[in-house]
Amino acid sequence: MENDLNKFIEKESNYYKPQFKNQNVFKEKDFQLWFKNVKIYIDKENKKRGVVASGCYDKDDSILTISFCNNCNCYSICSFTSSFSYIKCSNCQFDFCIGCSRPHISLYDTESLCLKGYFKLLYLRTKYRRAGKLITSNLGNIICIIFIILITPAYLGFVSNIIGLEVHPYKNREFKSKLEDYLITVIIFSSMRALFMIPYILFFLPFTIILLIPCIFSRKYYFTIAALYTSAIDPRDIRDFHDDL
């Protein structure tokens, strides 16, 4: 099965080109076969990549997905690493937003997002347990994750304010400042937003404790929750050293 799948990817390539514009390819048997096999392939690759082996990470630790590229007019295997919503087409190497198909307008536009694209990539990072690190220390990172889960309403207020400032700029604008350029201002306003959510922490505390309890019994569950919370603010492709599941 594995050899057949690899031969399929090599033979049929990493893309599928519709016969004409706006074709409903999902009704085509050849597309269904391509999509099914590629989906199996990328799922296998995403589970394998990023795992520490012999002290080193996989050379290519990007996450794979399938999307339609307007540049080459193909459904293709696309990849992403640390963008909020941008992916790269493996067929034409074109970068675009997975949510709205927006191409790069400027260098700093790579850090921008649309909500649809943001949630799509957040889902994939959570599914394959790819997380950012809030603190360098492993123990400190675990403590930090548990803490932000317990204060979920305030954390969501903080995160939503930051991503709200990172939405795609208007298409006729050539410049978008990096987040670091106004980091102090962002932290102040985001922290104020988080403070307004503090009254809701006690109300949601029983639910957040219930959310944490399964972490005691399942490492996979913990790494999944950790990926969800950390990737919301730090979109990275890190697979935890201890995540060998």
The residue from 71, 102, 127 where one domain ends is: 127
**Does one domain contain both 106 and 217?**
no
Q: Where are the alpha helices (DSSP H) in 72-165?
A: 115-127, 138-150, 152-164
Q: Among 244, 242, 233, 240, which residue's Cα sits nearest to residue 122?
A: 233
Structure tokens that stand for 88 in this block: 């790269």
**Does one domain contain both 34 and 110?**
yes
Structural domain including 19 reads 2-127
What own/partner pairs with CB < 8 Å and gap ≥ 24 does 41-45 have? 41/5, 41/6, 41/8, 41/9, 41/77, 42/66, 42/77, 44/5
**pLDDT tens, N- to C-terminus, the chain (245 residues):** 444 445 545 545 788 888 877 778 888 888 888 889 899 999 998 988 876 544 455 556 789 999 999 998 899 999 998 889 999 998 889 999 999 998 887 766 777 889 999 999 999 999 999 887 778 777 888 899 999 999 999 888 888 888 887 888 766 555 455 555 566 666 776 777 777 788 888 888 999 999 999 988 998 899 999 999 999 988 887 787 677 66
Structure tokens that stand for 177 in this block: 């400042």
- The DSSP symbol for 11 reads H
Q: What is the pTM of this model?
A: 0.84
Count of other CB atoms within 10 angstroms of residue 31: 16
Residue pair 74/91 in contact by the 8 Å Cβ criterion: yes
**Does one domain contain both 101 and 46?**
yes
